[in-house]
Amino acid sequence: MKDIKNICCIGAGYVGGPTMAVIADKNPTIKVTVVDINAERIAAWNDENLDNLPIYEPGLAEVVSRARGRNLFFSTEVDKAIEQSEIIFISVNTPTKTYGKGKGMAADLKYIELCARQIAEVAKTDKIVVEKSTLPVRTAEAIKTILNQTGPDSYRDGVNFQILSNPEFLAEGTAITDLQEADRVLIGGDQTPEGKEAIQALVDIYAAWLPKERILTTNVWSSELSKLTANAFLAQRVSSINAISELCEATGADVNEVAKAIGMDSRIGPKFLQASVGFGGSCFQKDILNLVYIAKSLGLSKVADYWEQVIIMNDHQKIRFASKIVSTLFNTVSGKKIAFLGWAFKKDTNDTRESAAIYVADQLIDEQANVCVFDPKVKIQKMYDDINYLDSRTDQLNKRHLQVVSNPYEACKDAHAIAILTEWDEFKDYDWQRIYDQMKKPAFLFDGRNILDRKKMKGIGFEVYSIGKA
């Protein structure tokens, strides 16, 4: 394989955009083109005002500023970018299926297949095709079949494809740091001479800034399964501590103290032991459901049941949190204003996929509460789109019960209760005395992320509920 001069990434989302920006920044001699059929998204990536980038991620604007226009480009010309590139990353959405076989569990690979077919139709020279999206095991085999059997006969036989798996291990909110200082990069490919050559080409790109001992190479199947397994293990820890949080509330224990005690065991460690209203994001739930589906498809029912319990526990935590609000507010929230601080699934991102806030809001609206939301990064229309996507009620009814404001004090004014759904650092610095003074009394505070000083809030006058504390 000749030296890589051009890289194309299909998909300008939360993975493709930041990953390609860092690759371009660290490899200034390689032209990196990120393509997407969504013209509005590409326009946002090209906006001179870096505050208008479609993704909020600390440090992303600075990286884009250095590389954009030099060797980083964003375009809607998909075919042109495919034709010119030696390496093509596929970084499109792989949501959980909402129809047909595997509904609610299996990954929907229609966008992956469309990309493969488009590459096959356009490619006239050898290509390395890299799976960057999170995919089920053996997807590379399907991509290879499509690439080798699709496309014009006039040149198809003369084009060779190598398929690599290069799963992302990014945490939103720290994605740029995760890329620049990665614990590991995983690259899987065929163990043939051609496959190893393709693997090395991608290794060399990451080696521009990472020590080679952090770049792991495997066969393609191990790489695909490693991604699902990593997310499943992390989500399992969150559900485990959340299960213990309910036990803490019933016994008078403090979940933070329990987490600290067990986290000091070197065999366990402290990470992902923060009790909360539940995990969200695009990966954890989707990947676990995918793992469950694979296990069921292979007849491994006990394995499937084990991992499905992680999702069940996470859903239970959201329901439990919403139910606690209702029961604490004298078993009725009808007509009451409930302020939400935070809508993103975690701090330092504007991503709302599978955010706990969406599901807690949905349950409270079912109880005819009036939910008023403030989030420092999520746009107003996105919140309405999120609640409408659940299809629980009409858009008109959702807008009657869901209000979005641009000021946290306005959100909390005349509220009967405040629910903290995202752990934004700025929430800790608010004038909580001022907030308390303008609320209905008694003033209830439900800290779904355990970020506030419980004793201080009680001293102000709040009736406080914190996850995992009696």
Quote the CA–CA distance of 65 and 63 in Å, as a whole number.
5
Helix, strand, coil tally for the chain in percent (to 5) = 45, 15, 40
- Residue 344, CA distances (Å) to 16, 382, 387, 432 in order: 20, 10, 13, 22
- Token readout for 270 is 């402290």
Upstream peptide bond of 376 is cis (omega within 30 degrees of 0): no
**Position 69, amino acid:** G
Q: Which residues of 162-173 are buried (b: 16+ CB within 10 A; e: fewer)?
A: bbbbbbbbbebb
SS3 186: strand
Question: To which residue do tokens 């990064």 refer?
Answer: 377
The two structure tokens encoding residue 191: 């163990």
Q: Evaluate whether 418 touches 452 at the Cβ level (below 8 Å).
A: no
Helices marked H in 252-369: 255-263, 284-297, 301-328, 356-366
Is the Cβ–Cβ distance between 44 and 53 less than 8 Å?
Answer: yes
- In this structure, are residues 231 and 287 in contact, taking their beta carbons and an 8 Å threshold? yes
Distance from C-alpha of 201 to C-alpha of 89, rounded to nearest angstrom: 13
Structure tokens at 221: 């199947």
State how far the Cα of 292 lies from the Cα of 103, in Å rounded to an integer. Answer: 12
Report the SS3 class of residue 236.
helix
Residues taking part in catalysis: 283
Q: Which long-range contacts link 322-331 to residues 24+ away (Cβ below 8 Å)?
A: 322/359, 322/360, 322/363, 322/364, 323/363, 324/446, 324/465, 325/360, 325/364, 325/417, 325/419, 325/444, 325/446, 326/364, 326/367, 328/417, 328/444, 328/446, 328/463, 328/465, 329/416, 329/417, 329/444
From residue 3, give the alpha-carbon distance in Å to each of 200, 201, 260.
11, 8, 50
C-alpha 317/C-alpha 21 separation (Å) is 36
